Chain A
Amino acid sequence: MNAYYGDFRAVKNIDIQIKPRQITALIGPSGCGKSTVLRSFNRMNDLIANSRLEGEILFHGQNIYADGVDPVEVRRRIGMVFQKPNPFPKSIYDNTAWGAKINGYKGDMDALVERSLRQAALWDEVKDKLDQSGLSLSGGQQQRLCIARTIAVKPEIILMDEPASALDPIATLRIEELIQDLKRDYTIIIVTHNMQQAARASDYTAFFSMDEDRAGYLVEYDQTQSLFTNPKNELTEQYITGRFG
């Protein structure tokens, strides 16, 4: 696929197969289109005025950009967690339940909230204060609350755009541990500037770079342990050893 902002082609000729129930890290220097690619996976780029995509993104064999596809439903099934934790100015409970409520969930909401907060490794810390504001939590807790909110609508894929870059090192490691647990049930794609994080926390890594025409392109995609020990492409080697970028 190719992604454009107006006439500017931001990413070109991207051809990648994301492995289910695995963690895929997207790495590369600033401006190479990692976040554009990530947002393409759940049509978040639709919200940017002059963005367009040429090509296909197939989810269960169906092109999510085909006519008639509901982008809201796409975003329910392919959820997103952002760099800056963004809990709503609501209670912890309401934050977690929000997505399910607006999707018309009719089941046991208390059970859903507990399950989601447990899966986000936050339940024990907040179970006695679910009525408190989500904004009263620490940065790391807020991010886990956002993950719980995403999980509550039962997505299949979770996209994470530098989910730990605004957090302290301990909170970062807790998010990484959480991601390892989540992959049992979800496919996870994570953009990160932190190569050590990509090496620690992912199963597969896709390295993007910027070409001379300033379009981002996929340089190499492989199992993380292979890419970080013996990359096939010289440019990958240069980037992950810090010789450029």
Chain B
Amino acid sequence: MIRGTFERELRDLQDRLLALGSEVGENIVKAVNVLNQRDLIGARRLIDADKEVNRKRIEIMTDALVLIATQQPMAGDMRLIASIIEITGELERINDYSKGIAKNSLLIGAVSLPDVIGHMPEMASKTQLMLRDALEASSRRDADLARAIPQADDEIDALFNLTYRDLLTYVADNPGSYELINYLEWALHNLERAADRVINICEWVVYNVTGEYIEMDSEFEAPPAA
């Protein structure tokens, strides 16, 4: 192989990206679980674990820049490395949202939750699946798969709207709960934003494969009034 060293280093970057993506996907689900189950120790662990995600992101990005400097990649190699840098940035932001949900959990404290966030575990699972598929698309250079993933975000948005309505309804009926509901709204917002970041990852996968960057955001829909 003419560029054996370069090929190995590229594969290593991709493998590390996939491993980081898998960890970040698990953290989304964990974050909602610790919120739901009032697991404050688990919440603290998640917050601390974010430092490690940040470190891995910086490492991948730095190694990618070294590859650019030393190997002068062109065409598909260059687009791959550019997309790896961007995708690790998106993964780091997704994990920030998981950390945010864990922080909301700590702020809520050791109180039980009203039955208003029933859809959030499903939102977290769907987001994890979206992320898994996006990383699969990246690994297989499958632009068609990447283009199909944003449709799943519509389902997450629908669940967001339902949950948001439930929160508004609850606080309208229970005005003393506004602080609790406020933290839950932030957690819900973080979860919805995590899914949006997965769409950004899909955009970078398509760019890597086709050389064209096309935005895939779904149309904005305001949540329903309470």
Contact = CB atoms under 8 A, between A and B. Distances in A.
Contacts of A240: 74-75
Nearest to B210: A230
How many B residues touch the partner, as a band? 10 to 19
A243 B6 CA distance: 11
Interface in B177-226: 210-212
B73 interface: yes
Interface string B147-173: 000000000000000000000000000
A243 B74 contact: no
Given A230-B211, A242-B2, A243-B3, A199 B74 contact: yes
Interface string A207-245: 000000000000000000000111100001100111110
B2 A244 contact: yes
Contacts of B73: 241
Contacts of A242: 2-3, 6
Contacts, number: 35
Contacts of B211: 229-230
A195 interface: yes
A181 to B, nearest CB: 24
B79 A241 contact: no
A109 to B, nearest CB: 44
A83 B73 CA distance: 26
A228 to B, nearest CB: 5
B58 interface: no
B112 interface: no
Interface in A137-187: none
Pick from A195, A243, A244 the residue with the most CB of B within 10 Å: A243
B70 interface: no
Contact of B75 (A196, A241, A244): A241
A1 B82 CA distance: 40
B114 interface: no
A237 B211 CA distance: 12
A228 B3 contact: no
A228 B79 CA distance: 10
Contacts of A196: 72
Nearest first, the 8 A-B pairs at minimum CB distance are A230-B211, A240-B74, A242-B3, A228-B74, A241-B77, A196-B72, A237-B75, A231-B75
